[in-house]
Chains A and B, each alone.
Chain A
Amino acid sequence: MSEWQDYITILGLACVTVLTRTFFFISDQSWPMPSWLNRALQYAPIAALAAVIGPEILMTQGQLITPWQDARLYAAIAGAMYYFARGGQGQAVLGTIVAGMSVYIPLHVALGW
């Protein structure tokens, strides 16, 4: 593919980002949100995050990790443990990243997990 076609494709992808992120409020029409849908959406944020991170932590190339020699699993556990040990206070999310990476990098780089 030539360079200019790549540029157009990339700008197209940017339009896709705009279209999907604004999908329901592009129009000026406002429609009433059914109350069940409103309640249902309260569960969407955590579901979205879990759907993204579940496979990132527990799968390699489309398969569940086996055996349990995988740095990502232990790093995620260490990170979550740090978070809950701090009770979510202060810079708990930053601590999750630091605690997780300090488990991940040695296991991943030194042991090849």
Chain B
Amino acid sequence: MFFLPANYRHPAFKQGMRDIAPVAPGIAAWGLMTGVAMVKSGMSIPCAVLMTLTVFAGSSQLAAIPLLASGTPMWVILATGFCVNLRFIVFSAHFKAYMMSSPRWQRMIAGYLSADITYVQFTQRYPTPYLDAEGHREQMAYLAGNNSLNWAGWVLAGLLGVFLASFIPTEWGLGFAGVLALVGVTCSLMSSRMRVISAVTSATVAIATYALPLKLNIVLSIACAVCMCVMIEQMSKHQQGEPL
């Protein structure tokens, strides 16, 4: 959380911001086009502002926009958001060991503000949780710095998109910059052959199962890729004569 001095005074806070800074233009372009999409769907300005400020999850916002516009029942919209967000539940299992030394309200705020990109950068920088007090402070400060710039970029660009919707040409496809930002971050994660296998498996499954409703293809792809990698790990250990 950016508002805790223990976080923003820590040098790791700035490191977190530095790491996400190059990705921020892509996030901002994506946020901008999400803002535009909300208003162009016919959503009122106050609703679009509220959504930008509170929901803070691009894929679930994009899924909800046409549903809100067509007057879909609330529980269907919430269930859709939940399914689209299922991958965050996987991330939260990963975050758990890093978070547990903080009080609950701090965990809840840090978790709420941790989107895909911050999860990826955080676990890349810190492959294992630090269990001592100073190490935990450093990790939380890094996460807070990384989150705060991501949040600011997304929200400010989203508000800009809401208010300037009629001036921003959608036919240029500026939102694709967000995908390119994720391409860059994916490249930065390709540090081992196993990770490349994970990426290729996951993308293939996501395309093959795209027809699944509620973006369930995403969480299915993660599950398949992870299982595939663990199986390959086990088999290669077995071949090297280690017990399974």
- Is B225 among interface residues, defined by CB-CB distance under 8 A? yes
- Is A111 among interface residues, defined by CB-CB distance under 8 A? no
The segment from B7-15, B118-126, B149-157, B158-166 found at the interface with A is B118-126
Report the separation of the CA atoms of residues A100 and B95 in the bound assembly, to the nearest whole angstrom.
32
Report the separation of the CA atoms of residues A8 and B127 in the bound assembly, to the nearest whole angstrom.
39
- Is B236 among interface residues, defined by CB-CB distance under 8 A? no
A109/B92 contact (C-beta < 8 A), A21-B112, A44-B222, A88-B188 known: no
Report the separation of the CA atoms of residues A36 and B226 in the bound assembly, to the nearest whole angstrom.
11
Chain B neighbourhood of A39, CB < 8 A: 230, 233
Q: Which of A46, A64, A108 contacts B195 (CB 8 A)?
A: A46
A88/B186 contact (C-beta < 8 A), A25-B111, A47-B226, A51-B217 known: no
Which residue among A10, A72, A109 has the maximum number of chain B CB atoms within 10 Å of its CB?
A10
The answer to whether A21 touches B116, judged by C-beta atoms less than 8 angstroms apart, is no
The answer to whether B78 touches A101, judged by C-beta atoms less than 8 angstroms apart, is no
The answer to whether B57 touches A17, judged by C-beta atoms less than 8 angstroms apart, is yes
Q: How far is the CB of A41 from chain B (nearest CB, A)?
A: 5
The answer to whether A8 touches B74, judged by C-beta atoms less than 8 angstroms apart, is yes
Q: How far is the CB of A85 from chain B (nearest CB, A)?
A: 11
The answer to whether A62 touches B198, judged by C-beta atoms less than 8 angstroms apart, is no
Q: Which of A10, A26, A36, A46 contacts B50 (CB 8 A)?
A: A10
Give the interface residue-count category, chain A.
35 or more
| A interface secondary structure, majority | helix
The answer to whether B85 touches A101, judged by C-beta atoms less than 8 angstroms apart, is no
The answer to whether A97 touches B230, judged by C-beta atoms less than 8 angstroms apart, is no
Q: How far is the CB of A27 from chain B (nearest CB, A)?
A: 9
Report the separation of the CA atoms of residues A54 and B202 in the bound assembly, to the nearest whole angstrom.
8
Chain A neighbourhood of B116, CB < 8 A: 48-49, 52
Report the separation of the CA atoms of residues A53 and B200 in the bound assembly, to the nearest whole angstrom.
11
The answer to whether B229 touches A40, judged by C-beta atoms less than 8 angstroms apart, is yes
**Chain B positions near chain A (C-beta within 8 angstroms):** 22-23, 25-26, 43-44, 46-47, 50-51, 54-57, 59-61, 64, 68, 71, 74, 77-78, 81-82, 85-97, 99-100, 104, 107-108, 111-112, 114, 116, 119-120, 123-124, 127, 171-173, 176-177, 179-190, 194-195, 198-207, 210-211, 217-218, 221-222, 225-227, 229-230, 233
4 tightest CB-CB pairs across the interface, nearest first?
A54-B203, A96-B184, A93-B184, A22-B111
**Chain A positions near chain B (C-beta within 8 angstroms):** 1, 3, 5-14, 16-26, 28, 30, 33, 36-37, 39-59, 62, 64, 71-72, 75-76, 79-80, 83-84, 88, 91-97, 100-101, 104-105, 108-109
